[in-house]
Structure 1
């Protein structure tokens, strides 16, 4: 044990422990002077506050003197941090205990104390001192302001902006984190309070929107400025994304139009920043200041904001259609943008899955098979959502096929095929009901069966131009779809359809089968190698 203590002393650990203990004990003494002395009637308030201010100044002066001594860095930081904390307590007493200062001037004086401490931290190249200056101020500010209100939010935003210069030439990730957290946390609390159904004092639309916008600009702007010098690019980008968290709860803190505008605007700013910073817009690699990892983080953040904006703006089947449309557009972007394709594909796949699950809830298969149920559930939004669901499934399957192995690619295409079959059925039946009522329901199922056979033919035609596993999967899918269409023909259409619709569906399906059989047999005779491959299949 003695040897370990000796080694710790050599590393300076003992000095840090003793200095930290001294900070705590001294601050307790200052608190006793300002608070308990008031309760006991010791000294007049003026002498208590003046004594606290003199002690704080003396501690800071002692720290500055000790900084010039050999091996005095640890003691200087401890003394200076104690003096600044004592100054905070003095401001607290003058503002909340004796009520000599209004809230805003009190916060201003505390900010001036913090500014002096940050100047010393920057000059001494001490992130530790910077944290000891900012963290107590963040804890003290709600006490001075009397809780979560507009004054506190404004002060935290000003603190974040006014202390940004400390990061210049310094890669101080912890201080940067604390700075951004100072306004982000109370703004998030405002949104959570509104989500719980309470009315937060800081939830005024202009104040909340302006504060969130400024914090996001500070986060993203600071990340861009430090991108070429910092060793923590991904962390800095993640912190910038974290500043958008209050915007996710804007719907509970603001009126709906303003919340949607705020969320959409931030998302578009992030997208534009990524496009320009990654060289997608401009002269390519020459303008690239954002690495791929940062582009992925900010792209995912923008997609999350758009997702929340859709949920806040729309409801019912309209929301389903818009979600599936958002997923489809994002999947298209991912195909042309290799730097963020995995993140965008993953995000769009999650959104598509949520949208498609909602589509299945709005128009489940048993509803499509019942004329009365589909008559009540049919609307244009289901048709649009089904269209986006099918196109999105194909685009996402193709995207994952480029980035994953053969097994995942095959599974993705099989799932996409099932979705397309369902979507075409929903489109045919729903559109038929919307156009023709009960007769349209029958015509829609005739069209659905025909579409199944057409898809089977498309799969077999695709197989003719491919080889290996892709050919096998396409042939198998086409034959399974033919079998499913025939099963539907005899198990559902024969029992449900009547009159001319039953005649039409059997004749059309039979002619398509004849045509497919004759075409595929001739195709195999024209290509003996493929014929042998197909025979093996």
Structure 2
């Protein structure tokens, strides 16, 4: 039965045709709008956009009705862009183009930087002005125009006039650099005037001149803080610091006290500032003067007290600056400068124990600074107090060691002992900085221990061997072993090269300790040469035993132990044939060769057996893997014949 004449079916087909035609028109209009928008954007911007496809012609109703679709939504014609149903984004979007890279601005010459030329001209101008004033005064003195009173008065008036002119220039916005130059020139002129009334004419006692100079410096620092000028503060502090030693050359202790007071009084100028040049101007001249004063071997306790005062001040302010953000952060490099006068006093002290005590105090202050300083992340290298203080502590402790034993023959023992203490501290604390100091002291101790070589090699020196040589050898062995262990734990990158080299030196040093022990034993028996001979034989046996231990360790999995053991055994054989055969005689030669030969035979036989045992165990060992599961054997369909 045909339904072609059914009016309902015809109506449905007409609705489908109208819907398909409407959808096609909508897609066409959307594509035309996208094309128009893309053209407008291309004309408005030089950027390139993705090409826009031209819309295809919409299908005819006949084509739509030719093949009815099961869905009321028609398929988009070829070339027509159809957006996804859930999104309403435009059919075409411009491609993202990164913005063009801006060229780097050309490097600005140094003479065009803000204030550089002006500051240079201000400094040069101040210097030329001072030279001109000096020439004017010299000419006036030669012509007899100025007497002493007129000279001093004119100098004071000139200083005040320059500072007053600086204040007037400062009121103008563009007169900052000129004002600083005038103020610096006025302060320097005032210092020259104080120098004249104190040193040249002797009108004012030294203490009064120091007070006047200190007041000038404080006034200059206050003016520098008000104007926020580090240059003016440096001129004020450095000028009086350089003038004081020249004025008080005959009164060194009073000058040192004045410089210490100046250093203390100018410390608050750092609060809220980062004036590193002012820090150097405050501490360095005082530290150098007090160190020179201590080296002058003054019999009084004043240089020691001044040195301790400066050390405590520098260490205390440095630690406080790292723990509180409100206090100035000082340069870490100034810590050794502040402690240097104490070190100088310890070196120059006439009494050994006083000098040792001062060096120990200097070391403790440096260690205290290294332990108490708290660094934040990203701290600049010049503020790394622990590393700098530990390096300085290594120097002071190295100086204290021979000072404690009053030099002489025990100096090497003390140096090796101090190096061992640093190595143990590095192993316990596991700090890289301590290990670096231990390395440095260890190199010095190893070089100093070369003095033992003649007593180990030459039989003619057997009568001069003493207990100190044995102590040095034993401490050296301990130092090498501890340093090797600490290096592996703290800096693994040095392993295994450095640790193996240190252990090899330790084995060689052990042989030297055995020789020295034999010589000392021979001295007790009134035969030091015989003890030397026995010690050499014992050293060969010890090296052979160490080689055997290395071979055994190699069988346990160490890759370097076997070559090291064979090398040590070869060295022992070479020593046996070249040295022991030539220098040993009688029973010692017999014992040395027999024991060494037996050790070599035992080493060879033991190594062969152990190697065969390890191979046999490796062959018999079941390879690792999951245990086998149960095997399901099916029943045979026919009887299985017996096997023969």
Q: Give the C-alpha shift of residue 307 in structure 1.
A: 0.8
Q: Give the C-alpha shift of residue 185 in structure 1.
A: 1.9
Matched, 1:455 2:546: yes
Within-5 A mapping of 1:130-529: 130-146=233-249, 149-190=252-293, 200=296, 203-204=298-299, 206-227=301-322, 236-250=331-345, 253-255=348-350, 256-277=352-373, 293-314=384-405, 315-339=407-431, 341=432, 343-364=433-454, 367-376=455-464, 378-402=465-489, 409-437=495-523, 438=527, 439-466=530-557, 471-528=558-615
More helix by share: 1
Give yes or no for contact 2:217–2:240 (8 Å, CA) kept in 1: yes
Matched, 1:75 2:75: no
SS for the counterpart of 1:59 is helix
Query: Who is 2:68 aligned against?
Result: none
SS for the counterpart of 2:272 is coil
Q: Give the C-alpha shift of residue 95 in structure 1.
A: 1.4
SS for the counterpart of 1:527 is helix
In structure 2, the CA distance between the partners of 1:528 and 1:176, relative to structure 1 (3 Å rule), is same
Q: Give the C-alpha shift of residue 253 in structure 1.
A: 3.3
Q: Give the C-alpha shift of residue 29 in structure 1.
A: 5.3
Q: Give the C-alpha shift of residue 141 in structure 1.
A: 1.6
Give yes or no for contact 1:278–1:295 (8 Å, CA) kept in 2: no
Q: Can you list the C-alpha shifts for 1:379-410, whole angstroms capped at 9, x where unaligned?
A: 1111111111112112223333446677x534
Give yes or no for contact 1:220–1:237 (8 Å, CA) kept in 2: no
Matched, 1:63 2:166: yes
Matched, 1:49 2:149: no
Instruction: Work out the CA distance in 2 between the residues paired with 1:385 and 1:205.
Output: 38
In structure 2, the CA distance between the partners of 1:26 and 1:293, relative to structure 1 (3 Å rule), is closer
Query: Who is 1:100 aligned against?
Result: 203
Instruction: Work out the CA distance in 2 between the residues paired with 1:142 and 1:515.
Output: 77
Give yes or no for contact 1:117–1:133 (8 Å, CA) kept in 2: yes
Query: Who is 2:191 aligned against?
Result: 88
Instruction: Work out the CA distance in 2 between the residues paired with 1:20 and 1:486.
Output: 75
SS for the counterpart of 1:71 is coil
Give yes or no for contact 1:110–1:137 (8 Å, CA) kept in 2: yes
Give yes or no for contact 2:346–2:358 (8 Å, CA) kept in 1: no
Of residues 208-217 and 437-446 in structure 1, the stretch that sits farther from structure 2 once superposed is 437-446
Give yes or no for contact 1:157–1:182 (8 Å, CA) kept in 2: no
SS for the counterpart of 1:236 is coil
Instruction: Work out the CA distance in 2 between the residues paired with 1:259 and 1:500.
Output: 52
Q: Give the C-alpha shift of residue 122 in structure 1.
A: 1.9
Instruction: Work out the CA distance in 2 between the residues paired with 1:277 and 1:529.
Output: 60
SS for the counterpart of 2:221 is helix
Structure 1, gaps ≥5 residues long:
1-5, 195-199, 280-284, 533-537
In structure 2, the CA distance between the partners of 1:114 and 1:530, relative to structure 1 (3 Å rule), is farther
Q: Give the C-alpha shift of residue 58 in structure 1.
A: 3.1
Instruction: Work out the CA distance in 2 between the residues paired with 1:185 and 1:310.
Output: 24
Give yes or no for contact 2:130–2:185 (8 Å, CA) kept in 1: yes
Q: Can you list the C-alpha shifts for 1:12-37, whole angstroms capped at 9, x where unaligned?
A: 45544554454335434544565553
Q: Give the C-alpha shift of residue 302 in structure 1.
A: 0.3
SS for the counterpart of 1:237 is coil
Identify which of structures 1 and 2 has the higher relative contact order when contacts are C-alpha pairs closer than 8 Å and 6+ apart.
Answer: 1
Query: What is the total number of aligned residue pairs between the two structures?
Result: 500
Q: Can you list the C-alpha shifts for 1:310-329, whole angstroms capped at 9, x where unaligned?
A: 23344344111221121122
In structure 2, the CA distance between the partners of 1:487 and 1:292, relative to structure 1 (3 Å rule), is farther
Q: Give the C-alpha shift of residue 428 in structure 1.
A: 1.6
Give yes or no for contact 2:272–2:327 (8 Å, CA) kept in 1: no
* TM-score, normalised with respect to structure 1: 0.82
Structure 2, gaps ≥5 residues long:
1-108, 620-644
Query: Who is 2:87 aligned against?
Result: none
Instruction: Work out the CA distance in 2 between the residues paired with 1:7 and 1:189.
Output: 40
Q: Give the C-alpha shift of residue 8 in structure 1.
A: 5.8
